[in-house]
Structure 1
Amino acid sequence: MTNLHPTDFTFSVRREPGTLIVRVAGELDYDTSGDLTDAVVEHLADAAPLHHVRLDFSELTWLDSTGLSALLMIHRRTSAVGARLHLDHRPEVLERMLRMTNVLEYLTGPALGTDTKGRKEDDDFARG
């Protein structure tokens, strides 16, 4: 019999005026990605409008294809409300997945209907 340990995954959510900041720690995978997506979507539905959603991955240890799918869904939802998604402090495991799938620019590009000024800020926070 295989003794599998439960996936270590936590996140914390903080709101600032116009910005949602979510710190992600542990493994973002099949077992955990729904929790992250649900939390972000719940905050997007709040009355106060958001212009930025910042996902801080400084403590991310693993990401699988379901985790990437969660990021794509979060992007879809943030774009639908006119907010911009930022993937901050990306560890190598996330960088590798984003490079292999060629979705970094898609995920962090400006929300529909916004200008493209200041686009470099994602790179400034990327590796923190």
Structure 2
Amino acid sequence: MPAAPSAPAPNPEPPYDLAPSDDRCATVATPDRHTARLHLAGDLDHTTADELLALAVRQIATQPGLRDLHLNCAQVRACDPMGLSVLLALYRRTSAAGIHLHLDDRPPAPVTAS
């Protein structure tokens, strides 16, 4: 009887893509071993902030040599105080690790009447 084929070994090299759990979550792309791009969508608020922090921390841990962490904010609709808190926490973690945090494609600030 022939042996059953073995499962392919996990690839330790990029891309380290992590699948989103739903449409509000970030997706990850790794164009090279020194760069990760998290594409955010929806609201960055009390319901999604912890998930973003966990995803970013996991990406930092699984991608040795990371130098630049880009958060693409083009599809972010809103950011509440919890979202801002997570961005600050990410900034502190990346700075301590020698990683540059980039907030890319931020939507323009809303115009308010004076």
TM-score (norm: length of structure 1): 0.64
**Alignment partner of 1:69: what SS?**
helix
Match of 1:76 among 74, 79, 92: 92
Residue 10 (structure 1) shift: 2.2
Match of 2:37 in 1: 21
Match of 1:88 among 71, 85, 104: 104
Q: Are residue 12 (structure 1) and residue 56 (structure 2) matched? A: no
Residue 78 (structure 1) shift: 0.8
TM-score (norm: length of structure 2): 0.71
| Distance in 2, Cα, partners of 1:63 & 1:92 | 13
**Alignment partner of 1:90: what SS?**
coil
Equivalent pair of 1:33/1:70 in contact (CA under 8 Å): yes
Aligned amino acid, residue 77 of structure 2? T
| Distance in 2, Cα, partners of 1:43 & 1:90 | 21
Any unmatched runs of 5+ in structure 2? 1-22
Q: Are residue 58 (structure 1) and residue 80 (structure 2) matched? A: no
Higher Rg of the two aligned structures? 2
Percentage identity across aligned positions? Answer: 35
Please list every run of at least 4 consecutive aligned residues from structure 1 whose deviation after the TM superposition is greater than 2 angstroms.
Answer: none
Residue 47 (structure 1) shift: 5.1
Aligned amino acid, residue 9 of structure 1? R
Match of 1:112 in 2: none
Aligned amino acid, residue 31 of structure 1? T
Equivalent pair of 2:69/2:101 in contact (CA under 8 Å): yes
Any unmatched runs of 5+ in structure 1? 1-7, 97-128
Count of residues in correspondence between the two structures: 88
Equivalent pair of 1:14/1:22 in contact (CA under 8 Å): yes
Aligned amino acid, residue 12 of structure 1? T
